[in-house]
Structure 1
Amino acid sequence: MGIEEEEVVELRDGYVFPFALWGMFVVVVLIYFGTRVSAPFGRHIRRGWGPSMSVREAWIVMQSPALFVLALVYHHGQHHLATVPHVLLRLFQLHYINRCLIYPFRIRSEGKAMPILVCVFFCLFNVLNAYLQARWISHYGTYPTSWLRSPQFVLGVALFFLGLGINIWADSVLLSLRADKHDRSYRIPRGFLFEYVSCPNYLGEIMEWFGWALMTSSFAGLGFFLAVTAILVPRAAVHHQWYLKKFSNYPASRKALIPFLY
């Protein structure tokens, strides 16, 4: 690509990126109102959402842009060889390596389906988000090496890894509740954060992306954090109500998402 062509691409992206960023905040508002109806997958699966696909395949398809689109866009950024953007890239990928390449093969998904419409929505969302995060950290953002010692980065990394650990641990507890792949029953999860909230896995993921928003100190990171929160807070409330209706002996002291508060 010649210099003139690069300038044209840069000019076009100068319009695309702000438009996409505003689009993310519009999506946050739409998600906030849309999640009043619980997404029809997992324990909340129901008819009327069109054709479905395997849950395992759906997870891989809808999470894959966060790995592959992210990497493609990142490596076209002017700062893609710099230290801090590279660190941020690997942290972001760490979450999605688990979500896209590990978690789908841990779940007992035999006989379970997800509406294709839901898969397509999350896939498109991840394309938008991957573009925004990668383009910001590798091109528009400015991160000197000293950023790695900044309070925002240090606190953000701590929250990110704490949230990631909680998320993976909670997933493991939930997955262990079923004896084998043919077991379709539900049980009350116990231990550690499950004694305080119904959805520590969601709490962990929200913590991760709040940490990401701090690490990047960007509107792109903030938009993603708000989107995740808009998705998971209402879903945690729905999960909590489901547990209360499903089990007469469900611990009354548990909250939905935040210990002692919500």
Structure 2
Amino acid sequence: MLQHLYTGVLIFIAALAVFTFYGTMKQVNPYGRYARPTDRNTMTARPAWLLFESPQWWSFAVTFWLTAQSPGTPAIVLFALWQSHYLYRGIIYPLRRNEDGKRFPMSGVIFGVLFNGLNGFVNGYAVSHAPHLMTDAWFRDPRFGLGLAIAVAGWLINFQADSILIGLRSDGAPGYRIPRGGAFEYVSAANYFGEIVLWCGWAVMSWTAAGALFAIFTISNLLPRALSHHRWYRENFADYPSTRRALIPWIL
């Protein structure tokens, strides 16, 4: 029963990735710099972030502990890494952001709750049932070490980029500025670049279909928005660095 549900949700997320990429390429989601004062059906931004990110940690945790028979140490390590990340992403990060006066569309909250709940389920199920994660031999597999190194690098890039963006608003001044430092010297969307690297590392480290699909979905969701950010910066700042790419250093 659960195996069939797992497979069905994987197929649904794959279809959602295609829909998300196509839809976001046509029209970027109306939050942040793309929000308009006339937008309706919105809610305060900070509770919105707290609400739609939270399913990633509780859905993963409930699925993992209720369905795992006897999880191996690698599975428990992956569980701890997932929970640690979403403790930051789902609670600490929204509280760090300066969200005074900002709004978030309810449609984005609903979509986020749906996707994050389903994604937490499939990744929690995959990690708790993958045979290669049941024995300590996986720690000696090159895929675990390589994936962990990639994931840590991505998390550090993402965290630094978040801190740079938050620092731009530390004086309380309104409006947007050109972010500088870290990976922002190479790409306009350094935070998205770090997040994509992180989940590509997770896909290698966990070596599950759910992990690979999450990396693909992350790219399908963030690539169009990164391209929009890049165009927006170039249109609004005459002195925007010409050598920066949108998402991938020196390439895209």
Q: Does residue 170 of structure 1 match 2:161?
A: yes
124, 133, 140: which one aligns with 1:134: 124
- Following superposition, the deviation at residue 49 of structure 1 comes to 5.7
The 5-angstrom pairing of residues 8-19 of structure 1 reads 12-19=1-8
Q: Is the 8 A contact 2:161 2:182 kept in 1?
A: no
The Cα RMSD (Å) is: 1.4
SS at structure 1 position matched to 2:177: coil
1:9 paired residue number: none
Distance 1:34 1:77 in 2: 35
What code does the residue aligned with 2:210 have?
A
Q: Does residue 33 of structure 1 match 2:22?
A: yes
What code does the residue aligned with 1:169 have?
Q
Structure 1-normalised TM-score? 0.91
- Following superposition, the deviation at residue 88 of structure 1 comes to 0.6
In structure 2, the CA distance between the partners of 1:80 and 1:66, relative to structure 1 (3 Å rule), is: farther
Q: Is the 8 A contact 1:80 1:86 kept in 2?
A: no
The 5-angstrom pairing of residues 208-247 of structure 1 reads 208-247=198-237
Distance 1:259 1:146 in 2: 35
Q: Is the 8 A contact 2:56 2:120 kept in 1?
A: yes
- Following superposition, the deviation at residue 142 of structure 1 comes to 3.5
84, 87, 90: which one aligns with 1:97: 87
The 5-angstrom pairing of residues 107-122 of structure 1 reads 107-122=97-112
Q: Does residue 158 of structure 1 match 2:124?
A: no
- Following superposition, the deviation at residue 15 of structure 1 comes to 1.9
Q: What's the CA shift string for 1:202-231, capped at 9, x where partnerless? A: 110000000011011111111100000001
What code does the residue aligned with 1:64 have?
S
Q: Is the 8 A contact 2:54 2:90 kept in 1?
A: yes
Q: Does residue 191 of structure 1 match 2:181?
A: yes
The 5-angstrom pairing of residues 61-100 of structure 1 reads 61-79=51-69, 81-100=71-90
Kindly, what percent of the aligned residue pairs are identical? 38
Alignment length, in residue pairs?
Answer: 250
Structure 1 residue runs without a partner (length 5+): 1-11
Stretch deviating more after TM superposition (186-195 or 115-124):
186-195
Q: Is the 8 A contact 1:49 1:117 kept in 2?
A: no
Distance 2:157 2:69 in 1: 32
Q: What's the CA shift string for 1:172-217, capped at 9, x where partnerless? A: 0111112434x22211111232111111111100000000110111
3, 7, 12: which one aligns with 1:23: 12
132, 138, 147: which one aligns with 1:147: 138
Structure 2 residue runs without a partner (length 5+): none
Larger Cα-atom Rg: 1
250, 256, 262: which one aligns with 2:246: 256
Q: Is the 8 A contact 1:61 1:123 kept in 2?
A: yes
Q: What's the CA shift string for 1:97-116, capped at 9, x where partnerless? A: 11111011111101000011
Q: What's the CA shift string for 1:231-258, capped at 9, x where partnerless? A: 1111110001110011011011110111
- Following superposition, the deviation at residue 140 of structure 1 comes to 4.5
SS at structure 2 position matched to 1:117: helix
What code does the residue aligned with 1:215 have?
M
What code does the residue aligned with 1:157 have?
L
